[in-house]
Amino acid sequence: MALTVSQKELKDPAFSQPVSLYTLANSQGMAVTLSDFGAAVWSLLAPGKDGVKDVTLTYQNPSLYIANPYYFGVTVGRCANRIGKGQFELAGRRYQLTRNDGKNHLHGGALGLSKRFWQSSTWQQDQSVGVTFSIESRDGDEGYPGHFKAEVTYSLNEAGELTIDYAAKADHDGPINLTNHTYFNLAGEGDILAQTLTLAASRYMAVDDELIPTGELPKVAGTAMDFQQPKAIGLEIEAVKGGYDHFWVARDKKAATPELIATLHDPKSGRTLQLLSTEPGVQFYSGNFLDGAIKGKEGRPLVRHGGLCLEPHIHPDAVNHADFPSVHLLAHQPYRQRSIYRFSVTG
């Protein structure tokens, strides 16, 4: 095996300190570059029938990762996705979180975990190489209760698996629900509409006009939301107002070990991505808000549907729905998640 981990620094005056970039690589041509700013994926090179290509969306100008309007590649939390009105009640007390998405709270707030430097360390074992990022967040940060600590570990093996392990806890009861926000395009360019998606979910989460869950979990069968069998993403996307930006429910609770939840395939390159996760569902977002105004790698505009996100986590806005799986953890109770992104070439 030829697994390696390397490090370099990016010095850009826009950042408050040099950005540490780590590259994990295997002998099959797969290489993942990670950043200590946002504990983020900055690129992922994957082999295909057309050679090795970067299958993620990135900014041409690295300083855009500071504001990161599209949340490219980052770890988001303390709570991923949206929380209606940025509010929730716990033990008789109402908490007001930062409202950074209109009236609502999104991906941990205006200065959430995705827009901060994390501590980092590399490691190498016989079967995998990796980087562990860690961060702390004070009590009241973005409105969340308790002093919070988290670790996110990325590891790569020779089988083409990028595994992300999450561990977190706080010294006060409160919500924790982490995920990764990488945008994938298995063709490496163009849009994702001809790529096929399979989701192991018979229900999805209905949302209102502000993309806040209504609490209803309709069946996908017979609708444009049905991806139980492989389907081109663009086939029925026009039937969905604004495009896909919904949560698909795979099961009622977290699993003990990762289970297959999504499969993405690009017919031309043969690249296939299987997502396995302990989480009960996945947010599928079809890059609806990309508008070409910002340039990505090689100066190409980041166009609508130029990439998609598959974000495994517990149900969004679960803090406000008693019948959803709970994201509330007791003080010092550990939070854990494992998600595996398995790349291969078929055809």
Which residues form the catalytic set?
181, 311
**C-alpha span between 240 and 341 (Å, rounded):** 27
Does residue 115 contact residue 75 with C-beta atoms inside 8 Å?
no
Distance CA 265, CA 194 (A): 9
Give the integer Cα–Cα distance in Å for 77 and 79. Answer: 4
Residue-wise DSSP of 43-108: EEEEEETTEEEE-B--BSSTTHHHH-TT-TT-EE-SB-SEEGGGEEEETTEEEE----BTTBEETT
Nearest to 142 by CA among 104, 110, 179, 115: 110
For 15, half-sphere exposure in the C-beta direction (CA atoms, 13 angstrom radius) is: 22
Helix or strand run (H / E) with residue 275: strand 271-277
Q: How far apart are CA 215 and CA 223, in angstroms?
A: 18
